[in-house]
Structure 1
Amino acid sequence: MKQLDDTLRTDDRPWTDLYPSTVTPDAASAFPTLLDAWNAHVSATPDGPSVHYFGATLTFGEIDAAADALAQTVHDAGVAPKDRIAVYLQNDPHWLVAVLAAWKIGAIPVAVNPMLRAGELEHHLVDSGATALICLDSLYTESVAPIREKTALDIVVTTHPLDMTPDASVPASLRAHIPAPQSFSDTIAWTTAVTGRGAPSTHPAGADDIGILTYTSGTTGRSKGAMNLHGSLVHNSTVYTQWWDLRADRDVIIGVAPVFHITGIVACLGIHIVSGAPLVLLHRFDAEETLRAIDEWRGTFMIGASTLFIALSNHPAKDELALGSLTKTPSGGAPVSPALVDRVREATGWVLRGAYGMTETTSPTHLGPPETDPPVDPDSGALSVGIPVPEANVRIVDLSDGHDLGPGEVGEIVVSGPMVVPGYWQMPEESAHAIRDGWLHTGDVGKVTEDGWLFVVDRLKDMINAGGYKVFPRDVEDVLYQHPAVREASVVGVPDDYRGETVKAFVSLTAGASVTPEELIEFCKTRMAAYKYPRELVVLEELPKTTSGKLLRRELRHS
């Protein structure tokens, strides 16, 4: 495959012929940062709907006023430009307010997973050097208070999920996740922090400044803070907005992707800010309430991992609700199999399209064109995750010596472009290992066709060596998804005295289905090479997942 660089003309990129008509080759944004885009909406439509949340609606003006006041509060507490403000919340409107507040004073928000507990949280706070924290009141006592003195925190603002919408009606299925409000003597209450302080003295950051720190396991070692730049955030948010032709006057974004994850930051918050289309938030994912939100708000766009679409398409409430408005449904986090795409389409009418990217690429480097069916790899049966988005470059390199490979050859995926981070926060050696001469080495294995379609085979670290034969878990999982009883599948390598490693599969079943492990092993055995099919198979009620919906193979290896 020809090595790409920034001097290539459009003619050298045949995949641009597949771009939607709304996409420009450079995805040029009208704004240097997301804050600039936000300010334009506030000026033009201050009374326009920004966030729908449990039946309540918050306008651009209301969100902005809260962000101004919060920015002034943390500024008065000593937070200066380039200081870090950690955000430790669920999918609530407060997340948007907190990020905007940080940007208004030139500070750097730090995205923190609300599932983290004290020890894990301590690493994120100490590593980032955060001096301010915005967190749910329900997380403070057990997770923040025990480690606060070990950090640089000068100010903690605690909030309740209904602080911005006190009259909202919380669905019964989510009520247990929203406990009674709590107050603390050593924190500032959200209602105090966002009230009556006026606009702060702004210190706007530029496109080349850090827009947010998002923590990732990266390719090696401990959790690292990826430095996602303001320019990268607005670029990829613009890519999504153009790709799916999102418009404020006709689209509604269903924000189920966790907004502490790069996908949610870009493909929920970012595209809301760029397009102006209203954003629906639900505190946390619940299948029935997500379906009801699509029906109630006539949602048109939603991104999620394949596990999310599986949960929605299997839920009985789908048959009672009007879901036809949802026509823009990219799926990221993991490649989807043709069988899964067919299953979701039959159950809901939604047509899934691939989305490929990483925390280190600020979300997408590849997307599936909405009007073009992706090809299927004749060797593995895998579905392509898409073609390079504007200004993204991709190479496939040999796994042993790193030389460039040609079309159809399998190797490591390396990417470059304006979406790639400059490195990890205060980790120069790890940054130099992952990003070489501007090219990010993803740790993913794949191949590319001559016209740009990318097939992701698997993660390099997940490859199984069974008696000298290389087995990629994805190959086995795709076959398992062809069985109608299989709802979710995850495959790992486990130690084997004879083969070194052997293939072990874990599955969960669709509602009402009944099948034995032996039957599923035989199903695989008749459909793949002898060295690939699982020698062991376990049926579980639920498979472990990350909060972004990715299946957790590492937890299954020890099961």
Structure 2
Amino acid sequence: MDTGLLRPWLAHYPEDIPKNINYDDKSLQDYLREGALEEPNKTLLHFMGKEMTFHEVYESALRFANGLQNLGIEKGDRVAIMLANTPQSVIGYYGALMAGAIVVRTNPLYVERELEHQLVDSGAKIILCLDLVYPRVMSVLDKSKLEHIIVTQVKDYLPFPKNLIYPFIQKKNTSLKVEITYNATTHSFTELLKGSSTRPLSVSIDPKEDLALLQYTGGTTGVAKGVMLTHYNLVANTTQCMKWMHKIDHGNEVILCALPFFHVYGMTVGMNFSVMDRSKMVILPRFDTKQTLQAIEKQRVSIFPGAPTMYIGLINDPKVTNYNLSSVNVCISGSAPLPVEVQHQFEELTGGKLSEGFGLTEASPVTHFNLMWGKRPSGSIGLPWPDTDVAVLSAETGEVAKSGEVGELIIKGPQVMKGYWKRPEETDAVFMNGWLLTGDMGYMDEDGFFYIVDRKKDMIIAGGFNIYPREIEEILYEHEAIQEAVAVGVPDPYRGETVKAFIVKKEGHEVTEKELNAFCRKSLSAYKVPRVYEFRKELPKTMVGKVLRRALIEEEKEKEKEKKKIVN
């Protein structure tokens, strides 16, 4: 397909950002090995007070890789990792890659049904998991192809004296205590490492062809699919990220890793970035405002990849001004739209730059980003990254849209997936002449800056009008009493759908439905103004902090069904 691309965005690239990049023909694990050989004593990670050098992480990953081979893992086999952000998660990831395996990242919050689907679909032979999720793994064991389970505990990598105190905490809190019987198929992670060699492995990897990762999509719009990402996909996207951050002090940054590594966003801009850039990652097992503020201050965090809900949480923490956040230089926001008000408030709070990007799992995941030090149009997702081509397909004509015209974003680039695991028909459905159809509706302005109006599937059609929830949410976020807001389409007998807004108020603030209605009418056309408001203490979210819009929609559908039952 000839898109007639002129690439107007390239005119806005600063001199320090290349328009094209020569990507290394390397596997992901090559970067860890080279870091360990060239700067063995440099700190790679910090976790709850414990630090590990490049050499220590590399040696542990080698031991894990040899342990996997001793358990029968061969090139191309799948190894699942079901862990929160911990040193074991980093070691397991790189160790599995060293053994030639394909990593399957698994959310530790998955219930049995979700876990079973992922293990069965991927055909994983081994899983590395936390002891707390071991019962869930055992409950689906017979339905999967798992041959071995490797179990680790939080205390395994806690520093002294936290590692000694943890067992006492377990005794007091029985939910943290799980009895495990180790045998020929259930192994202790620490014992496996102790009994394994540190000899280098000689597994031949073709970065462009060999898969590094099966990253499962959220599944909110259907059955979760395994996105096939090669070493080259992930190396390319991480390299693009490093080049985009052209003013950072490469090799000397401190990167906050609160985004989960089991999400491709946290994996690329957090873990892989740290290893490839040889900067220190400060790992948090989960996002907590107090822990995050303490980590930023104590570790002098300079790069903070996050989601809008994280920045919102910190801004609204009543004690935020008690912490020194001046070390923050660059904040990379993704996974959900960043309200303009949140951007301004966080930049004022830290003195750093908070910019929004855009991506999708199928693209490793980043495709666009705003300039950190340059023109940043309000509400834009920014410019395509180097070597990334983007066009907008008109929903009406199917042709390339003119600037300012809304259509579906289509993408080409070195970070785009090979396809969906064992789903050729679904792969064919999202590729058109080599272009990836994103399912996201947006437009490009005359200068080449892109804007997302919403997911194709999230568009609300009320009385024949197309309404994009993001536009409504941007207005709601401008109200001083609102901490979080999400707009969805709910069934309406007259309009087909109507707009409902779910609101979380800021602590100490009050606002009524009537006041919000008047506020929205000042900035929105009448047909876009929410007809219904619901106030909640919190909104359902993924581990990355992305609001589960579909969950709210499903709730509304169930309510509608119940109403009909009562009427009938």
Q: Which of the five TM-score ranges fits, normalised by the shorter chain? A: over 0.9
**Following the alignment from structure 1 to structure 2, what is the Cα–Cα distance between the partners of residues 403 and 200?**
52
Residues 204 and 163 (structure 1 numbering): CA distance in 2 closer, same or farther, change over 3 Å? Answer: farther
Q: Which residue of 1 aligns with 2:153?
A: 160
CA contact (8 A) 1:368 1:385 kept: yes
Amino acid at match of 2:362: E
**Following the alignment from structure 2 to structure 1, what is the Cα–Cα distance between the partners of residues 514 and 217?**
37
**Following the alignment from structure 2 to structure 1, what is the Cα–Cα distance between the partners of residues 252 and 267?**
22
- 1:30-179 map, 5 Å: 30-141=24-135, 143-167=136-160, 169=162, 179=176
Residues 486 and 194 (structure 1 numbering): CA distance in 2 closer, same or farther, change over 3 Å? Answer: same
Q: CA RMSD in A?
A: 2.2
Structure 1 residues 93-129: Cα deviation after superposition (integer angstroms, max 9, x where no partner): 1111111111111110001111101111000000000
Secondary structure of 2:501's counterpart equals strand
Q: Which residue of 2 aligns with 1:285?
A: 287
Structure 1 residue 229: deviation in Å? 1.1
How many residues are treated as equivalent by the alignment?
Answer: 545
CA contact (8 A) 1:517 1:539 kept: no
**Following the alignment from structure 1 to structure 2, what is the Cα–Cα distance between the partners of residues 204 and 540?**
53
Q: Which residue of 2 aligns with 1:388?
A: 384
**Following the alignment from structure 1 to structure 2, what is the Cα–Cα distance between the partners of residues 119 and 89?**
18
The structure 2 residue matched to 1:324, chosen from 323, 326, 332, is 326
**Following the alignment from structure 1 to structure 2, what is the Cα–Cα distance between the partners of residues 27 and 21?**
14
Residues 64 and 159 (structure 1 numbering): CA distance in 2 closer, same or farther, change over 3 Å? Answer: same
Residues 168 and 202 (structure 1 numbering): CA distance in 2 closer, same or farther, change over 3 Å? Answer: farther
Structure 1 residue 191: deviation in Å? 0.9
Please say which of residues 358-367 and 203-212 is displaced more in the overlay.
203-212
Secondary structure of 1:369's counterpart equals coil
Structure 1 residue 133: deviation in Å? 0.3
The structure 1 residue matched to 2:422, chosen from 417, 422, 426, is 426
Amino acid at match of 1:201: L
User: What is the identity percentage for the equivalent residue pairs of Structure 1 and Structure 2?
Assistant: 36
Amino acid at match of 2:513: P
CA contact (8 A) 1:214 1:359 kept: yes
Greater fraction helix: 2
Structure 1 residue 30: deviation in Å? 4.0
User: Does residue 545 of the first structure (1) align with residue 544 of the second (2)?
Assistant: no
Structure 1 residue 63: deviation in Å? 0.9
Structure 1 residue 31: deviation in Å? 5.0
- 1:350-389 map, 5 Å: 350-376=352-378, 383-389=379-385
CA contact (8 A) 1:508 1:542 kept: yes
What stretches of structure 2 of length at least 5 have no aligned partner?
557-568
CA contact (8 A) 2:252 2:279 kept: yes
Q: Which residue of 1 aligns with 2:335?
A: 333
Residues 489 and 73 (structure 1 numbering): CA distance in 2 closer, same or farther, change over 3 Å? Answer: same
Secondary structure of 1:194's counterpart equals helix
**Following the alignment from structure 2 to structure 1, what is the Cα–Cα distance between the partners of residues 526 and 107?**
41
CA contact (8 A) 2:83 2:129 kept: yes
Residues 218 and 389 (structure 1 numbering): CA distance in 2 closer, same or farther, change over 3 Å? Answer: farther
CA contact (8 A) 1:467 1:499 kept: yes
Structure 1 residue 309: deviation in Å? 0.6
- 1:8-27 map, 5 Å: 12-27=6-21
- 1:253-272 map, 5 Å: 253-272=255-274
Taking structure 2 as the reference length, the TM-score comes to: 0.92
**Following the alignment from structure 1 to structure 2, what is the Cα–Cα distance between the partners of residues 139 and 4?**
51
Q: Which residue of 2 aligns with 1:201?
A: 201
User: Does residue 451 of the first structure (1) align with residue 441 of the second (2)?
Assistant: no
The structure 1 residue matched to 2:181, chosen from 170, 180, 184, is 184
**Following the alignment from structure 2 to structure 1, what is the Cα–Cα distance between the partners of residues 36 and 384?**
33
The structure 2 residue matched to 1:309, chosen from 311, 320, 326, is 311
CA contact (8 A) 1:505 1:534 kept: yes
**Following the alignment from structure 1 to structure 2, what is the Cα–Cα distance between the partners of residues 495 and 314?**
33
Structure 1 residues 293-340: Cα deviation after superposition (integer angstroms, max 9, x where no partner): 111111111111111110011113321111111110121112223222
Amino acid at match of 2:3: Q
Structure 1 residue 177: deviation in Å? 12
Amino acid at match of 1:328: V
Residues 497 and 119 (structure 1 numbering): CA distance in 2 closer, same or farther, change over 3 Å? Answer: same
Structure 1 residues 140-178: Cα deviation after superposition (integer angstroms, max 9, x where no partner): 01x111110111111110001221235264999x99799
Taking structure 1 as the reference length, the TM-score comes to: 0.93
Structure 1 residue 398: deviation in Å? 1.6
CA contact (8 A) 1:55 1:168 kept: no
Structure 1 residue 500: deviation in Å? 0.9
Q: Which residue of 1 aligns with 2:566?
A: none
User: Does residue 405 of the first structure (1) align with residue 404 of the second (2)?
Assistant: no
Structure 1 residue 400: deviation in Å? 4.0
**Following the alignment from structure 2 to structure 1, what is the Cα–Cα distance between the partners of residues 287 and 21?**
31
